[in-house]
Amino acid sequence: MSNQPYISILIPLYDELRSIPEMHSQVTDACTRLGRTYEVLWIDDGSRDGSAHALDDLAARDPRSRVVHFRRNFGKSSALAAGFERVRGQIVITMDADLQDDPAMIDDFVKRIEAGADLVSGWKKRRHDPLDKTLPSRLFNAVVSRLSGVRLHDFNCGFKAYRADCVRELAVYGGFHRFLPVLAHHKGFRVEELIVKHRARKHGKSKYGVKRMFDGFMDLLTVLLVTRYRTRPLHFFGIPGMVLGGLGVLILVYLSFLWMFGYAIGERPLLTLGVLLTIVAMQFVGVGLLGELLVRTTIRSQEVFSIRDEREAPAATRAAIYAQPSPQLGPSAPPMSGRELPVSAAEEISEDARTVTVAGKPNPANPAVRR
């Protein structure tokens, strides 16, 4: 593509004023060493701490930086959705703005995409977070991996790389940013995993609390419905239906035997419970999940975010920067399948030999990845 960057760095942020200058400096250094044309797209998710003014100044000084301002805080999924619609590179790198992701690893992500992956998800194997964040995260990742069939260790890591073709087909809303590897795998894209260096937070505090766990599991039910059970929702409803319906039928059968032996059951609370278990519970669950199906097929970006303003360098300036044609990205490798071959190509790096293994076996095709 002429006059277009090869790499797009997408950084959503909310109230990260103190991190912006250092984040920009580190990303610029990493991309400059890489030697490829790039752009940095900042999505300001309704910040109120002065981040908006800092980003505007940054866009005025650096023609490679673009800024999108939301009118209010819409959430990370909406920020990524807005960014995915606007990125221009063949490879898209997403990062958090809190400096916990190391931009020096952008090179590793790019190499994995160029080697054939469609989506490379970061794995914070050694996390520098308190236990009240790491333990719930491990539980959440284990449940998602088990139910979705995508054998990744860290679904919540914001450090990811995508081919542009993959990004164009991912619908992101609600809390779906946690499940982008699941959505991509469902569409047949090749999903891999890369161990990343995780750093302690330097400024500010985490924007996520305990409520994120509840939201995540609710979003997981939606993702399962619109991926694995999209064309067979009866299978999704069948498991809770059999459990609740079975309990309800057992109660009603028990009461029927009592009635046959002359006992009065008309005023028993157990009769009401049996009826409720077989009817009302499934109605609530069914109506809610059918509503999710409708949302999944009719959602539009205008419904999940509203943009206040956009800033970028003039077209003539961008044309001069990207005048040199970028190399064309080669075709992706076919997706892995079968229970013997997990979707994750998780890398385990030995501190001494610094060798790389893929899916538990030596991988001579790939060089050792820099930590």
| E strand map for 264-326 | 307-311
The answer on 122 and 16 residing in a single domain is yes
> Which CATH number belongs to the domain containing residue 31 in this structure?
3.90.550.10
Q: How many structural domains comprise the chain? A: 2
Domain contains 142: yes
The answer on 237 and 177 residing in a single domain is no
Q: How many CB atoms lie within 10 A of CB 40?
A: 24
Q: Are 326 and 5 in contact (CB under 8 A)?
A: yes
Domain contains 49: yes
Domain finish residue from 249, 266, 298 = 298
Give the pLDDT score at 352.
42
Domain contains 2: no
Domain contains 330: no
Q: Which residues contact 300 (CB under 8 A, 6 or more apart)?
A: none
Determine the angle formed by the axes of helices 233-260 and 211-226, rounding to 10 degrees: 100
The answer on 244 and 225 residing in a single domain is no
The domain containing residue 74 runs over which residues? 7-229+314-322
The answer on 102 and 141 residing in a single domain is yes
Domain contains 150: yes
The answer on 251 and 148 residing in a single domain is no
Q: Which residues contact 79 (CB under 8 A, 6 or more apart)?
A: 12, 43, 45, 70, 305
Give the pLDDT score at 110.
97
82: helix, strand or coil? helix
Q: What is the DSSP secondary structure assignment for residue 299, as one 8-state letter?
A: -
Domain contains 209: yes
Residues 366 and 313: their CA atoms lie apart, in Å, by 38
Give the pLDDT score at 307.
78
The answer on 46 and 13 residing in a single domain is yes
The answer on 294 and 185 residing in a single domain is no
229: helix, strand or coil? coil
Domain contains 250: yes
Element (H, E) at 135: helix 131-148
The answer on 318 and 246 residing in a single domain is no
The answer on 169 and 86 residing in a single domain is yes
The answer on 86 and 217 residing in a single domain is yes
Q: Which residues of the chain have pLDDT under 70?
A: 1-2, 128-130, 132, 204-213, 230-232, 234-235, 238-239, 299-306, 336-371
The answer on 123 and 104 residing in a single domain is yes
Domain contains 50: yes
Residues 155 and 181: their CA atoms lie apart, in Å, by 7
Residues 173 and 33: their CA atoms lie apart, in Å, by 34
The answer on 144 and 253 residing in a single domain is no
Give the pLDDT score at 114.
96
